[in-house]
Amino acid sequence: MAYTAPAVEEVADGVWCIGGYSVANCTVIEAEDGLIVFDTGDNEEEGAHFLEIIRESISDKPVKVIMHSHSHYALGAGAMVDDPSDVMVIGHPSVNETVQSNIRGGGAPSVYGEIGPILTARAVVQMNNLMPEEGPDARLGGVIPFGKPLAHLPATVTPEHGETMDVLDMEMQFLTKFISDDDNLTVWIPEKGIVLNNFFWPGTVNLYTLRGGVYREPTSWRDGLAMMRDLRPEILLNTHARPVVGGEECLRRLNGYMDQITLTFDQTLRGILGGLGPDEIRHEIFYPPHLAEVPENAQTYGESIHFPAAIYQYAIGWFDNDVTKLFSIHPKDQAERLVALIGGRDAVVAAAADALERNEYAWAAQLIQYVYLLDPQDAEVRQLKADALRAMGHLTTGSIPRAFLLSEARALEGKVDIPRLIPPTPETIAASPEVFVNFFRVRIDPRLSADTDRVLTFNFTGISGGPVGLHVRRGVAEYLTTPSEHYRPVDFALTLSPETWAELYLSSVSMADAIASGAVTLDTGSVAELTKVFAAFDIFDPARNITMPLPDDLSHRGFVPL
């Protein structure tokens, strides 16, 4: 299904697929006047590596056209060209905005940029960064490292759905209507019978990803596959999967892959109509054996058992019609009561150990979790939980649940630290300081600001446009794009550089120290009063930004009260 070793494969005359060097393939098409490249990797290093392979194995011609399948692998393009102004960059109409949104959130896509750092941290786990290369805990999928330099080239041409263009004397049709895990640019090259796409993956469609993210609409993914099928391609070139060659084989694979999506979605809705909740539906969906004849339907990345709950919640919300859940007690309170009912800590640990001995790993994990919530530092409990998670991780076929299960097992044993969140870099914050003033609002503590009513404005040096602001008003912080038009007068007017704001945002400097050093000029208001207002916002402490210590202890959260 996917390249397990580096390869450069010529799939048609003048068309190559470079696979096995990255989690994404790179497609190269040779034209008379230069090269067309589809997908350039996840960072500058990958783009440079792809270019090196092109020069060694394919052609010395310059890269003249770059096409981004979607936002994830549009980040290596700058390393493949000498003069970006001499290159046509083609992408989905939303790709530039999506790339910037992802970067501002820390790297991973999110519905709300404010919570991007949490999703980025979970993506680090999902993409095998905390697992070893070898041994029983070894990763099964590729690694996407975070924090490496990027070389994104924004799309300069953003065709509409169905638009046809001449690209280096080659007719291409661009299809942008349907969505997989992101807005996609699908390219149809009629003269070669080739479709380039990000709909057909080496493993079952990941309708939900454990790192979290934007809802993935199954019907759009399904219809994107049907669109490609109806073109009747002879060659299917994919962002992740190996090429599929032959018209009948393309038809068979696309139909079978599409049918598994259809079944997952339709049977989830059938379960809803049958009165089942998400925890029941995930165990009820039946996949006919013939679907396994399509190798790409193997559950090697995500697993279908995790998808119905996402569809259910999007379609009907969290409430599964079980009224006993309407006012559930706090999980820790629940654990205290259940452990007492079962017979106390020792009885629960013994029962979990017995379940583990009987190979009932999921039940063992559920049992030991009650005791773990009461004392996450209990060494015996941590090891028993790690043993249960490791046993499940070694059995799962999907690289995503394997990564989460084994990474947590290793963290419980003190072998790795799992970050709770990964904030954006100072450079990213400084590039769009007004965006991060807006994001800053969600860090306000309503207990500490319940009696505060103050307006702050931020005037960033070297940035065009007027100041932006925050109205800290009795527990909330309202973002002000144009403070001069706000109904309340300004109480604190700050002048500072974008770089200083990045330091304040990441808590590497306090407001009092920034003012004392002259990095922040307070044009209006009192330093003492401003410091008090800023004290109502959570600070970021990198040393405490890990998931395994006491989860109910604020000192171990990524953002903590000042």
> Where is average pLDDT lowest: 396-400, 409-413, 438-442, 541-545?
541-545
Q: What would the pLDDT profile of 514-553 be if each residue is shown by its tens digit?
A: 999 999 999 999 999 999 999 999 999 998 899 886 544 5
Taking CA atoms, 393 is separated from 77, 127, 205, 331, in Å, by: 36, 15, 20, 24
User: Please, which residues have CB within 8 angstroms of residue 374's CB and are 6 or more apart in sequence?
Assistant: 332, 335, 336, 339, 345
Q: What would the pLDDT profile of 449-503 be if each residue is shown by its tens digit?
A: 999 999 999 999 999 889 999 999 999 999 999 999 999 999 999 999 999 999 9
Where residue 390 falls among pLDDT bands split at 50, 70, 90?
very high
Provide the pLDDT for residue 440: 97
Q: Phi and psi for 493 in degrees, rounded to 5?
A: -110, 115
Closest among 503, 520, 305, 502 to 397, alpha carbons compared: 305
pLDDT for 558 beyond 70 = no
Say what the pTM is.
0.92
In the chain, the percentage of residues whose pLDDT exceeds 70 is 98
DSSP 269-291: HHHHHTT--HHHHHHH----GGG
Mean pLDDT value across residues 397-424: 95
Taking CA atoms, 498 is separated from 464, 516, 526, 536, 540, in Å, by: 12, 17, 22, 22, 18
Structure tokens at 307: 């998808």
Integer Cα distance of 493 and 478 in angstroms: 16
Provide the pLDDT for residue 110: 86
Mean pLDDT value across residues 348-373: 98
Integer Cα distance of 123 and 144 in angstroms: 9
User: Please, which residues have CB within 8 angstroms of residue 517's CB and are 6 or more apart in sequence?
Assistant: none
Mean pLDDT value across residues 331-339: 96
Q: What would the pLDDT profile of 158-182 be if each residue is shown by its tens digit?
A: 999 999 999 999 999 999 999 999 9
Contact predicate 11/237, CB 8 Å: yes
Q: What would the pLDDT profile of 2-48 be if each residue is shown by its tens digit?
A: 998 999 999 999 999 999 998 899 999 999 999 999 999 999 999 99
In the chain, the percentage of residues whose pLDDT exceeds 90 is 91
pLDDT for 296 beyond 80 = yes
Neighbours of 155 (CB within 10 A): 23
Provide the pLDDT for residue 560: 60
Neighbours of 101 (CB within 10 A): 17
Measured in whole angstroms, the distance separating CA 554 from the mean position of its chain's CA atoms is: 25
Integer Cα distance of 372 and 7 in angstroms: 46
DSSP conformation class of 419: B
Mean pLDDT over each residue of the chain, to the nearest integer: 95
Q: Tell me the sheet residues that pair with 537.
A: 444
Handedness of CA 317, 200, 117, 303 (dihedral sign): positive
Provide the pLDDT for residue 143: 87
